[in-house]
Amino acid sequence: MHDSLKIHREQQEEARRAAGMDWSDNGLMFTTPTGSPLEPANLTRSFSRLLNRAGLRRIRFHDLRHSTATLLLEQGVDLVVIKALLGHAHIGVTAGVYAHVRLRLQRQAIDTLGNAVRSTDGDHDDPPAAAVVR
């Protein structure tokens, strides 16, 4: 578990002890001080305050999900893995929502390939520096 999540879990354990019998144990990682699920409206307000304090533009909390999936795709994470992380039932949903990212990455890959095979010194007899065969 990441260090910040470990710290959060330790703080949650302190809250659990402080709440005593009022603690609602539901296995959630992010809860109210008594262990209950967070209310969406409260989460939205808190998130907006954090964005304001950080000097960032306002976005929806849900936009973080899309940003995460886009960053994972751009880093080469397989679409099946992203599907599982997002909890999509079918790969078609994931592929459809992030098709624009995949198309951009495909264009970049083609450009990269074009640059790799393009001769820069005018010597057309030399083979490419690297080739991938599948």
Question: What is the rounded distance in angstroms from the CA atom of residue 83 to the CA atom of residue 89?
Answer: 8
CB atoms within 10 A of CB 94: 23
Question: What is the rounded distance in angstroms from the CA atom of residue 94 to the CA atom of residue 88?
Answer: 7
Tens digit of pLDDT for each residue in 40-61? 999 999 999 999 999 999 999 9
Please give the residue that has the higher pLDDT: either 64 or 131.
Answer: 64
Kindly list the distances between the CA atom of residue 96 and the CA atoms of 6, 40, 79, 103, in Å, as whole numbers in the listed order.
Answer: 35, 27, 11, 11
| Confidence at residue 132, expressed as pLDDT on a 0 to 100 scale | 60
| Confidence at residue 126, expressed as pLDDT on a 0 to 100 scale | 59
| Confidence at residue 122, expressed as pLDDT on a 0 to 100 scale | 56
Tens digit of pLDDT for each residue in 59-114? 999 999 999 999 999 898 999 999 999 999 999 999 888 888 888 888 888 888 88
Long-range (24+ apart) CB contacts under 8 A made by 101-104 are: 101/70, 101/73, 101/74, 102/73
| Confidence at residue 112, expressed as pLDDT on a 0 to 100 scale | 86
| Confidence at residue 124, expressed as pLDDT on a 0 to 100 scale | 57
51: Cβ–Cβ under 8 A, 6 or more apart, which residues?
A: 57, 58, 59
What pTM does this model have?
A: 0.58
Each domain of the chain, given as residue ranges in start order, spans: 60-120
For residue 6 the two structure tokens come to 């470990």
Residue 37 sits at φ, ψ, to 5 deg, of -60, 150
pLDDT band at 127 (very low <50, low <70, confident <90, very high): low
Tens digit of pLDDT for each residue in 7-32? 999 999 999 999 999 999 888 988 99
